Amino acid sequence: MKTIYIDSDFKCHLTDDGTCVPVETDFFDGKCDAYIEGFRFVPEGQSWTREDGTVFRGEMAAPWRPWPELDKQQREYERELLRQYEQALSEIEAALGV
């Protein structure tokens, strides 16, 4: 479970600038900061109205930044986590003489 902060337009932030509302969700577990901040999140029981009048009811999450950009950042994040894991595993194996 992660605490995010949503502004008046339901855009996600990782910190509260004093105008945001905290929301706990597991939707963003395992996601990098840039990915999270590129999303709009409407909590259960609330709604957001797009400029064209379309209403989206929560719980709803959708990117507001270009998807290819968010996907690229998330994949880079995951590759870095994998690299760190493999590095740690190699160090453990070396210490154990495996």
Q: pLDDT (tens digit, 9 = 90+) per residue, 50-59?
A: 999 999 999 9
Answer whether 63's CB lies under 8 Å from 38's CB: yes
* Total residues found in the chain within this entry: 98
88 pLDDT exceeds 90?
yes
91 pLDDT exceeds 90?
yes
Beta bridge partners of 28: none
* Other CB atoms within 10 A of residue 81 CB: 12
Q: pLDDT (tens digit, 9 = 90+) per residue, 63-79?
A: 999 999 999 999 999 99
Q: pLDDT (tens digit, 9 = 90+) per residue, 2-27?
A: 999 999 999 999 999 999 999 999 99
Confidence band (pLDDT; 50, 70, 90) for 41? very high
Beta bridge partners of 61: 41
For position 97, what pLDDT does the model report?
A: 85
User: Tokens representing 53?
Assistant: 């009048």
Answer whether 9's CB lies under 8 Å from 40's CB: yes
- The C-alpha angle 10, 43, 13, rounded to 5 degrees, equals 40
